[in-house]
Structure 1
């Protein structure tokens, strides 16, 4: 939304991008630096969907359009009960307004970030359940030769039934792909970024394992493993500092899992989501 734009005008503009036939927008769900997410009804099926729309001021930028297109490709290639379902993608030419949008499964519930803001920590059986389900979702992502690169509580949605769904493939990439960002640029969220991401090095599925380890640490202790006054300070801590010891009240199995997930050397972590899921169940 532009600074003085009426919310109704923003909704009407989003509806104009989608057209009036297939999807009818109901309300705004969320807003990010690159896109807005809307709740809409699929008039063909009657089901509710989430529509992620590339911001208008970015729709003319070829790099951002390519990132959005890559997000759609990544989401389309993964199928798992623990990953938000992809429905469709439309990339309009400039003569049709140039809008880009992704239609996804709408998840009733809240993010893990919302849960942790309310509860601080999770009981150990629930923390292990979140960890296992997310590992299964990562297993499907990694099996598709993708790396999510931004696992954090805000990107883990929890349904009322307790199912965990990984969302937001905005910076996911193929394991062997040349990144769109320039060499050495840190991609990810600083509080959950792996040492190799913080150094701009090659990432592997073990990168997602590390980020999930940061989430697990937070679920168990009520705090993130590394904090600092700036994102740079936090990223440097991920590179060089050991995480503070977890409270002795945390179960030894959980302490061991998190300790392995947060190893600085990716070769010494669980290799991918599948290996982590097996370890959680041991």
Structure 2
């Protein structure tokens, strides 16, 4: 199982579900300036802790609707040289409009105990992260896994259609909604493509594509497809395909040193082998993944 070091949010499954009435649609409610006084923030209900952020349960004082409030101390962001990425992640995520991408409703700044903070108001995931689900179930049933993979393929297609590479698809950055649907989050390393390409090394080691590890100056949407293949393997096998110590994991990725467990069906194994291909040009596209027999069989 990939470590949860860069998880951004894990929600409690018991959280009360509030349906948004038409009159309190967040895009209307939050068209005015946001401020911390609009919310009851439960500092004792920390949903997650990250290196540069904490996420709390927050309730709108006017409507009673519940949200996740991400808080980032500006000093930490500046010292970590990630302030630009933090601000950019909100801009990128706010442009997404898909049921399988976590919604963000606003970003604002404020002070708390003489410290300056950046706040991001987000959709409250109802059932935690995919990482949580995978910890509870080592190896998901194939029908359930196939549905999740299909939803992720749709979400990635939407993200790529906005000219964005996510670059950090992993179980910690995928949340579970009230109906069991996936919600892609964790856009801090996401980046607009230039002529269909990006550059730079980022993401969880277990999920890094070989071309990124090999120092490719330009890579494309196939790095997110690779991550989806790694995730498909982990959903079914209960562990990442190249999981090892740091140096061995890099070596195994570059050599495609993996073995799909015999407990995984032939159809699912076929999909994994057609996604986890060293040459990105030979990997299945997101459209081809959606049309693969294993996906169609369970959706």
**Residues 59 and 99 in structure 1, CA contact (< 8 A), matched pair in contact too:** no
1:46-85 equivalences under 5 Å are: 46-61=64-79, 63-85=81-103
Match of 1:198 in 2: 213
For residues 274 and 88 of structure 1, do their structure 2 counterparts lie closer, same or farther at Cα, with a shift above 3 Å needed? farther
For residues 20 and 73 of structure 1, do their structure 2 counterparts lie closer, same or farther at Cα, with a shift above 3 Å needed? closer
The Cα offsets for residues 172-226 of structure 1, whole Å up to 9 and x where unpaired, read as 11122997xxx7x631101111112223322321111111111111122222111
Match of 1:154 in 2: 172
For residues 198 and 228 of structure 1, do their structure 2 counterparts lie closer, same or farther at Cα, with a shift above 3 Å needed? same
Match of 1:6 in 2: none
Q: Which of these residues, 153, 164, 177, is aligned with residue 135 of structure 1?
A: 153
For CA contacts below 8 A with separation 6 or more, give which structure has more relative contact order. 2
1:150 Cα deviation (Å)?
0.9
For residues 236 and 85 of structure 1, do their structure 2 counterparts lie closer, same or farther at Cα, with a shift above 3 Å needed? same
For residues 119 and 41 of structure 1, do their structure 2 counterparts lie closer, same or farther at Cα, with a shift above 3 Å needed? same
1:133 Cα deviation (Å)?
0.9
SS at match of 2:57: strand
The CA distance in 1 between the partners of 2:288 and 2:54, in whole Å, is 35
- Is the aligned partner of 1:266 residue 2:284? no
1:91 Cα deviation (Å)?
4.5
The CA distance in 2 between the partners of 1:82 and 1:205, in whole Å, is 18
Match of 1:21 in 2: 37
Q: Which of these residues, 213, 235, 240, is aligned with residue 224 of structure 1?
A: 240
The CA distance in 2 between the partners of 1:238 and 1:78, in whole Å, is 31
**Residues 121 and 221 in structure 1, CA contact (< 8 A), matched pair in contact too:** yes
The CA distance in 1 between the partners of 2:66 and 2:211, in whole Å, is 39
- Is the aligned partner of 1:208 residue 2:224? yes
**Residues 175 and 203 in structure 1, CA contact (< 8 A), matched pair in contact too:** no
Match of 1:11 in 2: none
For residues 144 and 278 of structure 1, do their structure 2 counterparts lie closer, same or farther at Cα, with a shift above 3 Å needed? farther
- Is the aligned partner of 1:243 residue 2:258? yes
For residues 91 and 144 of structure 1, do their structure 2 counterparts lie closer, same or farther at Cα, with a shift above 3 Å needed? farther
Instruction: Report the TM-score when normalising by structure 1.
Output: 0.82
Match of 2:48 in 1: 30
Root-mean-square deviation over aligned CA pairs = 2.4
1:276 Cα deviation (Å)?
2.6
Instruction: Report the TM-score when normalising by structure 2.
Output: 0.78
The Cα offsets for residues 137-196 of structure 1, whole Å up to 9 and x where unpaired, read as 1111111111111111111112342111111101111122997xxx7x631101111112
1:61 Cα deviation (Å)?
4.6
- Is the aligned partner of 1:107 residue 2:125? yes
**Superposed structure 1 runs of 4+ greater than 3 Å apart:** 59-63
Consecutive unaligned residues in structure 2, runs of 5 or more: 1-33
- In the alignment of these two chains, the number of paired residues is 256
